[in-house]
């Protein structure tokens, strides 16, 4: 298992691989790895000769300081986790902020053509500039043939595709299905922070999304949204931050349904002090 903490050494190592015409896949993560990450890594391994997994809690994408401080950091466990998946095949890049940002740990400003003005972008100011900055850096450092991102963060995936298109970056962005626990809760590193009563309550989020999908077959987006809000109002533990039904290409909230478009429902919920997000395709 190769572990690099500095981009210089990583780039040199990858240069030799690319000179042999071997393909490279990149899976960017913030660590505290779980089965959702594993599904991305396995897809990357089946598509590429070599796979780089970056493990980096990116400070510039946290609009909430407390969230950054509390984010789980479990590098030793993550290394074992990747060993178990791959034997010794994976290349790990676990840098410091200084290495990624060359000492200037700050976001660049991006124009994501409005994709960032709703949902996560609206509730987490600056978040997507931080994501764009770090993903662009990682793509420039690793120069992968393909990079893998989860639909769990569907808006992030759309924004990264846009960023790659605008900046003409040569890597192909691959979206991967949401991986769920048996009870339906989308896997997330933040799930580790849920106290037992919140963990028990949290599958309600996906259950509600599935019912919303069913209702969307016959009801307007407004009616479905009202119904979802009502479900959370009467829930004793979970607090809804937003529920939005949006066009899955533009991410613009739907006013009037069109059967030529595809829609997705997006949700953010507080379970105690842990913020959880999820989404579901509606048609
Ligand atoms: P994170 O470490 O949370 O930043 O996630 C790293 C990558 O894994 C992102 O592209 C996420 O969308 C993806 N990911 C996280 N959780 C899941 C999941 N439950 N299913 C699929 N992809 C996921």
Q: How far is the CA of 206 from the centre of ligand 1 (A)?
A: 16
Residue 134 beta carbon below 6 angstroms from any ligand 1 atom: no
Tell how far CA 124 is from the center of its chain: 14
Model confidence over 52-81: pLDDT tens digits? 999 999 999 999 999 999 999 999 999 999
Flag whether 181 is in a domain: no
HSE of 154 in the Cβ direction (CA atoms, 13 Å)? Answer: 25
pLDDT band at 255 (very low <50, low <70, confident <90, very high): confident
Domain count of the fold of the chain: 2
Flag whether 89 is in a domain: yes
Q: How far is the CA of 180 from the centre of ligand 1 (A)?
A: 11
Give me the chain's average pLDDT, please.
97
- 180 CA closest ligand 1 atom index: 19
Task: State the DSSP code for 80.
Answer: H
What is the spatial distance between Cα 228 and Cα 183, in angstroms, rounded to a whole number?
19
Catalytically active residues are: 37
Does 242 share its domain with 219? yes
What is the spatial distance between Cα 248 and Cα 254, in angstroms, rounded to a whole number?
10
Residue 266 beta carbon below 6 angstroms from any ligand 1 atom: no
User: Which domain covers residue 105, as residue numbers?
Assistant: 2-176
Could you tell me where the DSSP H helices lie in 20-126?
A: 35-47, 65-70, 75-86, 97-101, 119-123
- Mean pLDDT for 155-182 is 98
Domain ends where: 154, 176, 198? 176
What is the spatial distance between Cα 246 and Cα 225, in angstroms, rounded to a whole number?
11
Does 35 share its domain with 104? yes
Does 148 share its domain with 200? no
Judged by DSSP in three states, 43 sits in helix
Supply the residue whose CA is at minimum distance from atom 17 of ligand 1: 36
Does 165 share its domain with 248? no
Tell me what pLDDT residue 150 has. Answer: 98
Q: Residues with Cβ < 8 Å from 103, sequence gap 6 or more?
A: none
Pairing status of strand 238-247 against strand 263-271: antiparallel
pLDDT band at 88 (very low <50, low <70, confident <90, very high): confident
Model confidence over 2-50: pLDDT tens digits? 999 999 999 999 999 999 999 999 999 999 999 999 999 999 999 999 9
Tell me what pLDDT residue 188 has. Answer: 97
Residue 61 beta carbon below 6 angstroms from any ligand 1 atom: no
What is the spatial distance between Cα 109 and Cα 91, in angstroms, rounded to a whole number?
30
- Mean pLDDT for 245-260 is 94
Mutational pocket test of ligand 1: of 42, 71, 152, 277, the residue with most ligand atoms within 8 Å of the beta carbon: 152
Supply the residue whose CA is at minimum distance from atom 12 of ligand 1: 150
> CATH no. for residue 275?
3.30.1300.10
Supply the residue whose CA is at minimum distance from atom 18 of ligand 1: 36
For residues 152 and 188, is the Cβ–Cβ distance under 8 A?
A: yes
Does 28 share its domain with 70? yes
Model confidence over 89-115: pLDDT tens digits? 899 999 999 999 998 999 999 999 999
Between vectors from CA 17 to CA 79 and to CA 134, what angle results, nearest 5°?
A: 55
Tell me what pLDDT residue 1 has. Answer: 87
């Amino acid at each position: 298992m190769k572990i690099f903490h500095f981009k210089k050494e990583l780039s040199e190592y990858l240069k030799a691989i690319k000179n042999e015409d071997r393909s490279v896949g990149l899976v960017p993560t913030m660590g505290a790895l779980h089965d959702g990450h594993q599904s991305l890594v396995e897809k990357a391994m089946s598509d590429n000769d070599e796979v780089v997994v970056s493990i980096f809690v990116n400070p510039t994408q946290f609009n909430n300081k407390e969230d950054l401080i509390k984010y789980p950091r479990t590098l030793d466990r993550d290394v074992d986790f990747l060993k178990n998946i791959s034997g010794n095949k994976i290349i790990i890049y676990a840098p410091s902020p200084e290495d990624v940002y060359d000492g200037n740990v700050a976001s660049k400003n991006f124009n994501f053509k409005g994709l960032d003005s709703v949902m996560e972008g609206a509730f987490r100011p600056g978040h997507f500039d931080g994501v764009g900055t770090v993903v662009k850096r990682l793509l420039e450092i690793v120069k992968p043939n393909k990079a893998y991102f989860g639909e769990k963060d569907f808006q992030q995936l759309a924004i990264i595709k846009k960023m790659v298109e605008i900046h003409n970056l040569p890597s192909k962005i691959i979206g991967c299905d949401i991986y769920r626990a048996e009870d339906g809760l989308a896997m997330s590193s933040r799930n580790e922070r849920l106290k037992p009563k919140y963990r028990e309550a949290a599958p309600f989020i996906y259950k509600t999304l599935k019912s919303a999908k069913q209702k969307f077959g016959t009801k307007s987006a407004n009616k479905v949204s009202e119904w979802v809000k009502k479900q959370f109002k009467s829930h004793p533990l979970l607090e809804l931050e937003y529920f939005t039904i949006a066009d899955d290409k533009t991410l613009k909230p739907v006013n009037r349904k069109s059967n030529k478009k595809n829609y997705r429902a997006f949700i953010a919920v507080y379970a105690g002090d842990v913020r959880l997000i999820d989404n579901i395709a509606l048609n």
